Structure 1
Amino acid sequence: MTNDKRRRFSSPVVDGIGKSPGRAMLRAVGFTDEDFKKPQVGIASTWSMLTPCNMHIDQLAREAGAGADDAGGKSVIFNTITVSDGIANGTEGMKYSLVSREVIADSIETAAGCEGFDGIVAIGGCDKNMPGCIMGMARLNRPSVFVYGGTIRPGANHTDIISVFEAVGAHAKGDMSLIEVKQIEETAIPGPGSCGGMYTANTMASAIEAMGMSLPGSSAQDAVSQSKVDDCRAAGAAVMNLLEKDIKPTDIMTRSAFENAITVVIALGGSTNAVLHLLAMAHTVDVELTLDDFVRVGKRVPVLADLRPSGHYMMSELVAIGGIQPLMKTLLEAGLLHGDCLTVTGKTLAENLADVSGYPDDQQIIRALDQPIKKDSHLRILYGNLAPTGAVAKITGKEGTWFTGTARVFHSEEEAQERILDGTVTAGDVLVIRYEGPRGGPGMREMLSPTSAIMGRGLGSEVALITDGRFSGGSHGFVVGHITPEAADGGPIALVEDGDKITIDAEENLITIDLSDEELERRLDNWQPPEPRYRRGVLAKFARTVSSASEGAVTDKD
């Protein structure tokens, strides 16, 4: 590999002695004369003690750096942020969660662009880390590999973070004592790793592996395991291979690759957040992807995984039987994946899967194609006079496919949560939580606390919840989010009044309010937009620049 091939991005330190004072800066952090001749690989670490999802990633970053060094590169580790959705959910702080995706992408782009790294490895743990890392790497379009920090082990009695949220609702109903709630709280999170079901972190890690931007197996490994250490080392080496072959994110993140990601998310019963994040990731690489693509792919892809939150098993149990690779091979053989898509191995998806064995015969986690949990997608894109530009529902069929009820309107998540816990919300209600969209929140909070409280009070099949906010991957029940246009933009959800009749039809993919166009127009004439909740700082900047949720809620749209 010639020096020209090695150093593609005009780092400030590639020039010889006497031309680059920046060499002195890097000598201070450990560079030798030989290191200046090597490709530099930036290792973006999301390490933080804010959350168990990321508390071990500093160690993983060092392993990835060692892998790049052993393969002939020179690694440089740098940090970006993370936040903890599990801690912030249900509070004002959750408004920063989706914003963190943009901050992560911006910071990776900024650091790697400024320092002129030739390649990048990014390691993420919590929910927004995954799309944020991918977006940051893709903007620069330099040879890159994503590494997932791995899943957490189950807590005592097969519990996880969602068990804690639902225990709060069970206690409010009187079905659980405070001592029992405390016991779950103390044991549900046993150590490092991301939330243990097919929640947003595991969903997005799986989508990224299916897309080809992480190494085979990366999405289904325990956070604390030799396989995860090996994955990090291999990722460092893989970037050097990508540099040699000049393979960049835009070579991998094609429209077909996004269709592969959607297919795997559906088969796994993944989070509604995948819709938001895949739209944003596609925008970053100028791939045309819309809500209707999820409808099109969803018509032919079944739900096969019996994973939490709507199923029984945890990610660590899927890891134990082989992860998602056997599932992907099944989907490929059925013609449901594009096998010719390039991946970060330098090989195609079909080549990566060629020698993958099937699942054990006695496993119960992944169903056969002819015995699906649901014959088509659980991710339903709904339209109608309540969501003219679309909404996203997570309907597994266990909660039914049709709901009609009367609106009970709330202007914030906190207000709704109080009324659920005190018993005001009753069977037949459609909870409307508005002004929680990307602009109106601002920040598009997840409604995990209300949905968990509903489930905990035993109302999961008797109450629906709709919002211009979004949902945690741990949310389940009859829930519809991402309603667009959002309330802050004068969307129809802003015009709903207590007692209005609302219908959700997941067979015909409709969400409607029983009002005439004339009545909606009359209400809109009398509607006044709310004052911005923030006028300075990151939330104010986000509110001013963010696009609609139906476009991925990105902040750099033309």
Structure 2
Amino acid sequence: MLRSTHILEGLHNQYYRATYKSMGFSTEDLKRPLIGIANAWSECVPGHYNLRQVAQRVKDGVYRAGGTPVEFGVIGGCDGMGQGHDGMHFIMPSRELIANSIESMAQINLFDGLVLLGSCDKIVPGMLMAAARLDIPCIVLPGGPMEGGVMFDGRQSDQTSSTEAYGMLSAGKITEAEYVALEDTACPGCGSCSYLGTANTMCALSEALGMTLPDGGTAPAASAARLVQGQDTGVKIMELVEKQITARKILTNAAIRNAIKTCLAMSGSTNAVMHLTAIAHEAELDIHVLNEFDALSASTPQLAKMNPSCQYNIIDFYLDGGVPRLMEHLQSLLETDAMTVTAHTLAENISSHKYRYPATGLVNHTPDNPFGYTGGIAVLRGTLAPNTGITKPGAFDKSLHYFKGEAICFDSEEAAEEAILAGKVRDGHVVVIRYEGPKGGPGMREMYKAMKYLYGRGLTKSTALITDGRFSGTNNGCFVGHISPEAAEGGPIALVRDGDLIEIDVNNKKLDVLVSPEELSERRKAWKRPEPKFKKGWLGLYCKLASSGAEGGIMKFDHL
């Protein structure tokens, strides 16, 4: 029996039918399955700006296939707009709000299935978490990536070029006129960011999980293919409802492992580790995502390379076959019997896929010609990160896979950025930014600006940065994030002092502070737990319930 029949069938349910009819739904409409369209459209986020048009095509597909679409709004903050100020405290916690609001609307209205429209950093993971929690037929459909902008510093520009350029301006490397000119040319149109940041990583991984139709993660925002994807998704959700292929039949341990391997093979954003952990938690899977990343990185080659690792953007990846070609090249390592939202297995999808464009080989390499023989993400542990730290060696020069330098410590993102721009960070420094974890931040802010300023000042290959916060997927240079336990919980990162030697050894998966255990023990005696930065409102609640980055930053109610 369809969920919606509980409120739409029978004389006793006239109240609900009358309510729908007040909005123009007909008697025939209410005899069809109800499909919720969770749309994160807004004028705040370029990755979502086209979702009105996409949503209409989804509705067309649903209605054409015999269903009734019912659209509702979902919040979605742009990470870029939150960078470098108090707004970033809300970005990570917004993932939980998105999951909760979709769950609420699906249960209030007893939808028979959901199409989830969103493109950006925390929105796609939040939608996947809701799908896993609800376990009804669901398909995620992103809005697609934007085109790259004018050429700048050897590649097509994007929003992050402006931040890099500000660092260059502060170092006297470019003129003010060159800097100002980027404002009108870096972002030529809407879409998720043109590079492989967290947004496009999670859109691609939604495909790899089987929760998005093939090519649905990377077809350009401004393309006709994106609108066709909308209609096809509307038709396909009806098939999933008919066959009762629910989210947890797709979001299995095998699907999570396939997504991990895809992420490693494309050197995706380090934030994917945390988001896949949260999705697995909501699906109640018995898989340890961090351990899987750690184990699989040794045997998964890097087959795709995109900005920030090179000059090629997401649209170049799409033109070179995108996720379908990457998974075809990886298929000997994948669990191809996994079910997907096509209502077919991954193996069937790979064998039947029709590529729109001939292979270029610029972005997607074959297994016999990889960019690297190990995955692009590494899990580090050591005296500075007893639980874990996450880095992305696929995005920085191999000469930085081992880095030893003196700590220069900051207790906030803003303090570090001010020091970098003032020239206080020099060659050989390891910049330590702490009290930015899920609890201490709160909200585990991204250290995006700090890394971009280092780049702009020419320090990318001579410094490193470590933090209990996160990194934007666009960052490059030697960095380690997600350090757990975080400083606010008394993790060793809270005990580091200026001048301490820190050793980052990616190949041996180590992150150590070269201070004796006795000295660290003495420092711990003097350490005091800081007061929460927010004591009321949403963030006041979040910092009480948030788990560590190693646990996906999920809200754990046993903290109460």
Shared fold (TM-score greater than 0.5)?
yes
Aligned to 1:356: 353
1:503 counterpart SS class: strand
Counterparts of residues 52-451 of structure 1 (less than 5 Å): 52-157=46-151, 158-287=156-285, 288-332=287-331, 335-356=332-353, 360=358, 362-396=360-394, 398-399=397-398, 400-451=400-451
Q: Deviations over 1:396-425 (max 9, x none)?
A: 251521000011000100100011111100
Pick closer, same or farther for the CA change 1:278–1:521 going to 2, 3 Å. Answer: same
Specify the code of the residue in structure 1 equivalent to 2:305.
D
Measure, in 1, the Cα distance between the counterparts of 2:313 and 2:195.
Answer: 5
User: Offset at 1:289?
Assistant: 2.4
Of 296-305 and 446-455, the range deviating more from structure 2:
296-305
Measure, in 2, the Cα distance between the counterparts of 1:43 and 1:415.
Answer: 42
Measure, in 2, the Cα distance between the counterparts of 1:491 and 1:121.
Answer: 41
Specify the code of the residue in structure 1 equivalent to 2:352.
D
Q: Deviations over 1:40-81 (max 9, x none)?
A: 000000001002111111221121122111111111000010
Specify the code of the residue in structure 1 equivalent to 2:202.
M
User: Structure 1 residue 26 and structure 2 residue 25: aligned?
Assistant: no
Whether contact under 8 Å (1:547, 1:557) holds in the other structure is no
Whether contact under 8 Å (2:207, 2:323) holds in the other structure is no
Whether contact under 8 Å (1:326, 1:356) holds in the other structure is no
Identity %: 41
1:53 counterpart SS class: helix
Specify the code of the residue in structure 2 equivalent to 1:297.
L
Measure, in 1, the Cα distance between the counterparts of 2:30 and 2:306.
Answer: 48
Aligned to 2:499: 499
TM-score (norm 1): 0.96
User: Offset at 1:482?
Assistant: 0.2
Q: Deviations over 1:405-464 (max 9, x none)?
A: 011000100100011111100000000000000000000000110000111111111110
User: Offset at 1:10?
Assistant: 5.5
Measure, in 1, the Cα distance between the counterparts of 2:354 and 2:298.
Answer: 27
1:19 counterpart SS class: helix
Whether contact under 8 Å (1:63, 1:232) holds in the other structure is yes
Specify the code of the residue in structure 2 equivalent to 1:209.
E
Measure, in 2, the Cα distance between the counterparts of 1:104 and 1:176.
Answer: 41
Measure, in 1, the Cα distance between the counterparts of 2:487 and 2:546.
Answer: 14
Q: Deviations over 1:146-166 (max 9, x none)?
A: 001100011122211221121
Aligned to 1:8: 3
User: Offset at 1:20?
Assistant: 3.2
Pick closer, same or farther for the CA change 1:360–1:71 going to 2, 3 Å. Answer: closer
Q: Deviations over 1:76-118 (max 9, x none)?
A: 0000101111121111111111111111111100111111001
Pick closer, same or farther for the CA change 1:362–1:535 going to 2, 3 Å. Answer: closer
Measure, in 2, the Cα distance between the counterparts of 1:357 and 1:297.
Answer: 29
Whether contact under 8 Å (1:152, 1:195) holds in the other structure is yes
Measure, in 2, the Cα distance between the counterparts of 1:192 and 1:385.
Answer: 44
Specify the code of the residue in structure 1 equivalent to 2:511.
I
Pick closer, same or farther for the CA change 1:441–1:356 going to 2, 3 Å. Answer: same
Whether contact under 8 Å (1:408, 1:431) holds in the other structure is yes
TM-score (norm 2): 0.96
Measure, in 1, the Cα distance between the counterparts of 2:507 and 2:246.
Answer: 40
Unaligned runs of 5+ in 2: none
Whether contact under 8 Å (1:329, 1:356) holds in the other structure is no
Measure, in 2, the Cα distance between the counterparts of 1:310 and 1:237.
Answer: 37
Whether contact under 8 Å (1:326, 1:357) holds in the other structure is no
Measure, in 2, the Cα distance between the counterparts of 1:550 and 1:17.
Answer: 52
Measure, in 2, the Cα distance between the counterparts of 1:528 and 1:458.
Answer: 36
User: Offset at 1:357?
Assistant: 6.1
Measure, in 1, the Cα distance between the counterparts of 2:45 and 2:248.
Answer: 32
User: Offset at 1:11?
Assistant: 4.5
Pick closer, same or farther for the CA change 1:150–1:361 going to 2, 3 Å. Answer: closer
Specify the code of the residue in structure 2 equivalent to 1:286.
E
Measure, in 1, the Cα distance between the counterparts of 2:491 and 2:227.
Answer: 48
Pick closer, same or farther for the CA change 1:60–1:361 going to 2, 3 Å. Answer: closer
Measure, in 1, the Cα distance between the counterparts of 2:481 and 2:408.
Answer: 16
Measure, in 2, the Cα distance between the counterparts of 1:178 and 1:172.
Answer: 10
1:232 counterpart SS class: helix
2:321 counterpart SS class: coil
Of 172-181 and 461-470, the range deviating more from structure 2:
172-181
User: Offset at 1:316?
Assistant: 1.1
Unaligned runs of 5+ in 1: none
Specify the code of the residue in structure 2 equivalent to 1:81.
I
User: Offset at 1:556?
Assistant: 4.3
Specify the code of the residue in structure 2 equivalent to 1:8.
R
1:354 counterpart SS class: helix
1:483 counterpart SS class: strand
2:114 counterpart SS class: strand
Aligned to 2:41: 47
Measure, in 2, the Cα distance between the counterparts of 1:28 and 1:11.
Answer: 19
User: Offset at 1:523?
Assistant: 1.1
1:531 counterpart SS class: coil
Specify the code of the residue in structure 2 equivalent to 1:252.
I
Aligned positions, number: 550
User: Offset at 1:18?
Assistant: 4.6
Measure, in 1, the Cα distance between the counterparts of 2:203 and 2:442.
Answer: 26
Measure, in 2, the Cα distance between the counterparts of 1:151 and 1:405.
Answer: 38
RMSD of aligned Cα (Å): 1.4
Pick closer, same or farther for the CA change 1:11–1:534 going to 2, 3 Å. Answer: farther
